[in-house]
Amino acid sequence: MIKDKIVEVLNNIKNHMSEKRYLHTLGVVDAAVYLADKYGENIEEAKLAALLHDYAKDFTEEELKNYIHRNGIDVDEILIVAYQLLHGRVGAHIAKNRFHINNQDILNAIDNHTTGSRNMSNLEKIIYLADFIEVGRDYPGVDDLRIVAEESLDKAVLQALNNTIKYVLSIDKLLHPNTIYARNELMMKREKGE
């Protein structure tokens, strides 16, 4: 069943996304499949979440906000102001309502790939990280992050969260509290030696 859903989504996104977004998405799929295999998670779930993680990324600010309003989706004020983060929430809603995906872990991975969250599952961590390290990404520190991803999923996600926090602060933008919660949980795990 999940394999059929992957084929359906793959056929849909090629026509829905820009070529650049489509190529990025395929890169995230490859990275997510690799990480899921490496860390013992369900490869098909990782593939499906990765395919849909940026489904709403090319939506305009108006389209994202209209979609949220039309569908009564609960969002906080920071997501409204930092509207670029909304594409995860909208993408998860589309995954559930258009593609009939009911696996909450997949939906959470799509929703939270922009900010991280409290109590991230390994699938959520994999999608969050795959978005940072896919082969098409080229930014200062990406090679170091890829190396850490080979050693530890939690360490790599923590490094990605730290990089995000530094970047958002450097451009003087709003930082979503879920990013801080995710970071602090991973820091506490590290402090406890878990």
- The CATH number for 76's domain is 1.10.3210.10
pTM recorded for the entire structure: 0.96
Count CB-CB contacts under 10 A for residue 77.
8
**pLDDT tens column, 9-40:** 999 999 999 999 999 999 999 999 999 999 99
Q: Look at residue 1 and tell me whether its pLDDT is greater than 90.
A: no
For residue 1, the number of C-alpha atoms closer than 13 Å in the C-beta half-sphere is 5
**pLDDT tens column, 50-93:** 999 999 999 999 999 999 999 999 999 999 999 999 999 999 99
Q: Structural domain of residue 42, as residue ranges?
A: 2-191
What span, in angstroms and rounded, lies between the C-alpha atoms of 99 and 5?
8
Q: What is the 3-state secondary structure (H, E, C) of the chain?
A: CHHHHHHHHHHHHHHHCCHHHHHHHHHHHHHHHHHHHHCCCCHHHHHHHHHHCCCCCCCCHHHHHHHHHHHCCCCCHHHHHCHHHHHHHHHHHHHHHCCCCCCHHHHHHHHHCCCCCCCCCHHHHHHHHHHHHCCCCCCCCHHHHHHHHHHCHHHHHHHHHHHHHHHHHHCCCCCCHHHHHHHHHHHHHHHCCC
**pLDDT tens column, 97-122:** 999 999 999 999 999 999 999 999 99
The confidence band for 95, taking pLDDT boundaries of 50, 70 and 90, is very high
Average pLDDT across the chain, whole number: 97
Total domains, the chain: 1
Count CB-CB contacts under 10 A for residue 33.
18
Q: Average pLDDT in the 41-54 region? A: 98
What span, in angstroms and rounded, lies between the C-alpha atoms of 174 and 94?
26
